[in-house]
Amino acid sequence: MSVIHRFLLITTIIWAPVILYAQQKSPPVDIGKESMYFPHHFQKYHLQTGLGFDFIKLPFDWVENALEAPLLDLHLTFGLPAGFSLEGNLNTILVSNQVSLGARWNYIHRNFSFNLGYDLGYSLGIMNFAGFKNTGMTLIHYPNASIGFKTKTLAFTFKGEAVIIAWGQMKTGEDLMSRSINFFDGMTGAIYLEQRIFRKKILIIGFKDNYVKYYWPAWMVFSTFDRYYHIPELHLLWVL
Amino acid sequence: MGIMRNCLLTLFCIALLMAGCNKSKEVSIPSPGPNSLFTETYPLPEASRKVMDGIYNVTAGNELFGDQVVLKWSRKKLTVMCSDGHYLVLDVGQLDSVIMIQGYWRYCYNDNTGIASAYIARDEGGKDIIEANPHPGQIIIRGGYGSKGNEINNPLQFVYLRPISPSVLNKKFSLLAHRSGGRTSDHLPVSENSIAMINFTEGLGSTGIEIDVQLTSDGVPVLYHDADLNIRLTQKGPVSGPINDFNYLQLFYLVRLIHGEHIPRLKDALYFVVDSTLLTDVYLDMKEKVPSIKEVIPIQKEILQRAKEKGRDLNIYIGLPSQDAINDFMSQPDYQKIPSLCELSVDDVVRTNSMVWAPRWTEGTQDALVAQIHGQGRLAWTWTLDDVDWIKEFINNGQFDGILTNYPFIAGYYHYIREN
């Protein structure tokens, strides 16, 4: 996707609701309670859904051109008592998919908050065309922590997580290779901005930097480099 | 206020989208400097070099080089091949009855490197090597390597175990280096698809190379991988855009590859192969934005004739990566007599009468199809395989006659260490 196209897509996503609904009166929204990434006491037994895209820029060393790809991102939260919550994610670009499930413990005091969490992710990639007969699977641990700050209308969240690859399996034609490794792959750091744009609709904009050696969406490039790469992601989601 | 926020958000997002650039890194070859004792040595004769080839136990330096290594001479360098992607490229000379060794080690999957220095004492194999004794009593290589900078700070010792099995040496197995030796992203000191890389590649254990061929606007086949002149492959300069838009003189005067070399003509590169290397296989990967097979065939013929006159064992195969390339190839007169390599199906190999079938490694070892190819008297290679575990799998359990890789020393290790 060219720079021009990216610019147009992002501005459309952000500005369109303003243009379409600029004249309507908006009901009050407590951003601290309506957000998905900002640590807070989620509404008990209530499911929250966010849907959008993650735009990824893969390392030049791996793809040898300025390849970017959008991942479909489905993000779910489910509130539990005593500050706990569950979180789920589905990311897919068809040939690469990951589902992750995890738990959080959230604490909030006035406008500041934090949470501690752990996710387990299972990624599956299948390519059976254009000279590929491959399936790749990995199991990844994501211990994580977030701190948040909110104003009346904005919620900021800073999230850090470790990426630990527990197990991997690759099938190439008829050949199968499994590796059981608790391999420290790297870390990610992210910042999320959550804001009501119109009516009660919350827009989440996030920037995440993956500082990792192996990156599951790009399993099919079969990178063998033992180097850390910065792989940025831009997240754009709407809370449904 | 809402509009102001959205404006800031938009600008924020654009700035973040611009992030994520990965600049290519240079990794220089460590060197002990011009004043080392090695400068006093004399080159080893050919017969002496062969005595050093073999399998060695590692008795010091295991943390880096593993438990066994393969030592194999190429045209000018002694390559030490390890099981996990470490390797050494060494110069060897003799001083009295002592063999002096100097060079560097490198881990191919990242930028770790350091110097290495060693010797073989007279009564620990030095005399046997200099006298070219085909059955040396013992060979012990003692020395050290550096983990950082140019200092030696760790011991290194290799003890000769056995020669490379004669059945392995007699079996033709091609260790083909991708893009003439490696990619820009491998952080080698020379550029991919350059004559400098062709000169460098045998030290990595290659017995053959794959090179990418494109046509300039005036019909000159050159070596270049990407469709465009770009910062991945070239230094910043006054021109950019599709390489096919420029004639050869423009490329020669206006473009330098990432390490300063000129983009070579295919003819010059192949003359270098036949005159200045001992490489036995060349795989011409035809990048076909503009069909170039018609321009390449006469060059292939000329170089093969030169190789024959010089008594050189050399094969040059025109690669056929697509149906368009096959159609172009089959429209050439007497195409069935032109040495070629086909990447598609076994049926396409038969149609084009290609000598080599070269499927992508991602389709697996394909033992039944490789057996079918062998039954027709043809060869089977696979590409481009870089993972240690998969290289080991394909060599130990596959039936291919060659592997195209960015790391020929890894394929070399698993090939030469075989007992049969």
Instruction: Point out the residue among A10, A131, A209 whose CB comes nearest to the CB of B362.
Output: A131
**What's at B219, amino acid-wise?**
G
User: How close B169 gets to chain A, by Cα (Å)?
Assistant: 27
- Residues comprising chain A, all counted: 240
Decide if B28 touches A, using CB distance below 8 A.
Answer: no
User: How close B96 gets to chain A, by Cα (Å)?
Assistant: 42
Report the distance separating Cα B357 and Cα B369, nearest Å.
10
**Mean pLDDT for the stretch of residues B154-174:** 95
Report the distance separating Cα B169 and Cα B360, nearest Å.
26
**Mean pLDDT for the stretch of residues B63-76:** 96
Residues 6+ apart with CB under 8 A from B181: B188, B190, B192, B197, B198, B200, B201, B204, B206, B209
Quick check: B7 pLDDT over 60? no
DSSP 8-state assignment for residue A44: B
User: What is the domain class of B37-163 according to CATH?
Assistant: mainly beta
Chain A positions touching B111 (Cβ under 8 A) are: 227
Neighbours of A224 (CB within 10 A): 17
Domain at A209, CATH number = 2.40.128
What would the pLDDT profile of B267-315 be if each residue is shown by its tens digit?
Answer: 999 999 999 999 999 999 998 766 789 999 999 999 999 999 999 999 9
Decide if A205 touches B, using CB distance below 8 A.
Answer: yes
Domain-wise residue ranges, chain B:
37-163, 169-416
Tell me the average pLDDT of chain B.
Answer: 91
**What's at B173, amino acid-wise?**
F
**Mean pLDDT for the stretch of residues B167-177:** 95
Report the topology of domain B169-416: TIM Barrel (3.20.20)
User: CA–CA distance from B7 to each of A11, A206, B12 (Å)?
Assistant: 9, 16, 9
Report the distance separating Cα B97 and Cα A70, nearest Å.
65
Quick check: B3 pLDDT over 70? no
Phi, psi of A163 (to 5 degrees): -120, 115
Chain A positions touching B5 (Cβ under 8 A) are: 154, 195
Taking the CA of residue A142 as centre, how many other CA atoms within 13 Å lie in the half-sphere pointing to its CB? 29
Report the distance separating Cα A185 and Cα B37, nearest Å.
43
What would the pLDDT profile of B204-257 be if each residue is shown by its tens digit?
Answer: 999 999 999 999 999 999 999 999 999 899 999 899 999 999 999 999 999 999
Decide if B362 touches A, using CB distance below 8 A.
Answer: yes
Residues 6+ apart with CB under 8 A from B308: none
Residues 6+ apart with CB under 8 A from A221: A58, A62, A63
Token duo for residue B143: 């020395």
What would the pLDDT profile of B100-123 be if each residue is shown by its tens digit?
Answer: 999 999 999 999 999 999 999 999
User: Which residue stretches of B100-188 are H helix?
Assistant: 126-130, 166-170
- Number of domains chain A is built from: 1
Q: Do B37-163 and B169-416 agree at the fold level? A: no
Measure CA B343 to chain center: 20
Chain A positions touching B360 (Cβ under 8 A) are: 131-132
Report the distance separating Cα B359 and Cα B343, nearest Å.
5
As averages over each run of 10 residues, the pLDDT of chain A (240 residues) reads 58 56 59 90 94 92 78 96 96 95 96 96 92 91 97 94 94 82 90 88 94 94 92 94
What would the pLDDT profile of B346-400 be if each residue is shown by its tens digit?
Answer: 999 999 999 999 999 999 999 999 999 999 999 999 999 999 999 999 999 999 9
Decide if A109 touches B, using CB distance below 8 A.
Answer: no
Contact, B171 vs B145, CB < 8 A? no
Is residue B324 left, alpha or beta, with left meaning phi > 0 and alpha meaning psi from -120 to 50? alpha
Decide if B33 touches A, using CB distance below 8 A.
Answer: no
Write down the pLDDT at residue A7.
Answer: 60
Token duo for residue A8: 């147009």
In a domain, A10, yes or no: no
Long-range contacts at A78-82 (CB < 8 A, ≥ 24 apart): A78/A42, A78/A45, A78/A46, A78/A47, A78/A48, A79/A41, A79/A42, A79/A43, A79/A44, A79/A45, A79/A46, A79/A48, A80/A42, A80/A44, A80/A45, A81/A44
Q: Among B362, B396, B405, pick the best mutation site for testing chain A contact (most A Cβ within 10 A).
A: B362
Residues A43-68: b if buried by 16+ CB within 10 A, e if exposed:
eeeeebebebbbbbbbbbbbebeeeb
Q: Which helix (H) or strand (E) holds B408?
A: helix B408-416
Minimal-distance CA residue of chain B relative to A62: B185
Write down the pLDDT at residue A18.
Answer: 53
User: CA–CA distance from B316 to each of A60, B191, B193, B278 (Å)?
Assistant: 31, 22, 16, 13
User: How close B113 gets to chain A, by Cα (Å)?
Assistant: 13
Write down the pLDDT at residue A174.
Answer: 81
In a domain, A4, yes or no: no
Q: Among A12, A19, A61, pick the best mutation site for testing chain B contact (most B Cβ within 10 A).
A: A61
Q: What domain range is A122 assigned to?
A: 26-239
> Whole-model pTM?
0.90
